[in-house]
Amino acid sequence: MEIIEKAAAKINLGLNVIGKRPDGFHDLEMIMTSIDLTDTLTFSSTNDNKITITSNVPYLPTDRKNLIYQAAHLMKKKFALNQGVRIYLDKIIPVAAGLAGGSSDCAATLRGLNKLWQLNLSLEELAEIGESLGSDVPYCIYSQTAFVTGRGENVELLPKFQGFWVILVKPQISVSTPSIFKQVNLAAINHPDVQGLRQVIIEQKLSEIPVLLGNSLEAITARQYPIVDKIKTKLINYGADGVLMSGSGPSVFAICRKESRAKRVFNSIKGFCNEVYLVRTL
């Protein structure tokens, strides 16, 4: 038996850091949505009781350091399964880019193994299992527009954020999410109106979204990596409706309502960075 599962990249339309938790993490308010930039995972049953991971990207770890492995190990242990699995990852989403690629692969593993091993778990149950694997994993289980709070464990699904084109730009640097969060000064950072963003999505006043985009972490990352602001400025000058850094960065995205404008922005920015994608919201 073979199961194929897609893992979609996410972008943050809004990210507000609202406090520090006793466990060392931060309390967040976020609006997340997924885009059609996806990894593909293929799951096959084996009789050797082992977890075997292969990929088209040779430098990715395939052992316990990999969230895919951790997800499979957790499922085997939790449900006392003696079955093995072979997992092939076709990796497209950039690594360490603020797009939750690893978390999305992890969530896709939970969904895929749920089908392969016929566990009949709901998405809610899978999201609860995913909490221990990573802050973005519960959202990635659903992989649709959502209002996310806590450290990422509370997911409120919202109406679809559709009809937008997304130009995604990944500069040739990688950003450590923990290092960015260590620099958070709650009194000094920007606190975007994530609740207002949530409301306009609920009311489907999508034309108001570009002016409400905001990310508390953007200024921190941009101070360390000025390329972030340079990309933002170029995207705005090229005519994007709205521009923001996703997550802790360094990826920057622009949104456009019109396909013609999106293609113009995409073609203009391509000469500035090697990794540029023109995609849609899911």
Domain boundaries, the chain: 2-157, 165-280
* pLDDT at position 66: 96
**pTM of the full predicted structure?**
0.95
Query: Is the bond preceding residue 250 a cis peptide, omega within 30 degrees?
Result: yes
* Count of beta carbons in the 10 Å neighbourhood of residue 3: 18
Pick the CATH number of 2-157 from 3.40.50.2300, 3.30.230.10, 3.90.1150.10, 3.30.9.10: 3.30.230.10
Angle, vertex CA 33, rays to CA 19 and CA 134, nearest 5 = 55
Task: Check if 232 is active-site.
Answer: no
Q: How many residues does the chain have?
A: 282
Alpha-helix runs per DSSP H in 62-158 = 67-78, 101-116, 123-130, 137-142
Distance CA 40, CA 60 (A): 15
Task: Check if 10 is active-site.
Answer: yes
Show Cβ contacts of residue 29 under 8 Å, excluding neighbours closer than 6 positions: 14, 15, 16, 18, 147, 148, 149, 194, 195
pLDDT digits (tens, 9 = 90+) for 133-150: 999 999 999 999 999 999
CATH 3.30.70.890 fits domain 165-280: yes
Distance CA 244, CA 238 (A): 14
pLDDT digits (tens, 9 = 90+) for 55-69: 999 999 999 999 999
Burial class of residue 65 (count of CB atoms within 10 Å of its CB; 0-12, 13-18, 19+): exposed
Q: Which residue in 39, 105, 136, 241 is the catalytic one?
A: 136
Angle between helices 101-116 and 123-130 (to 10 degrees): 130
Residues of the chain predicted below pLDDT 50: none
* pLDDT at position 241: 97
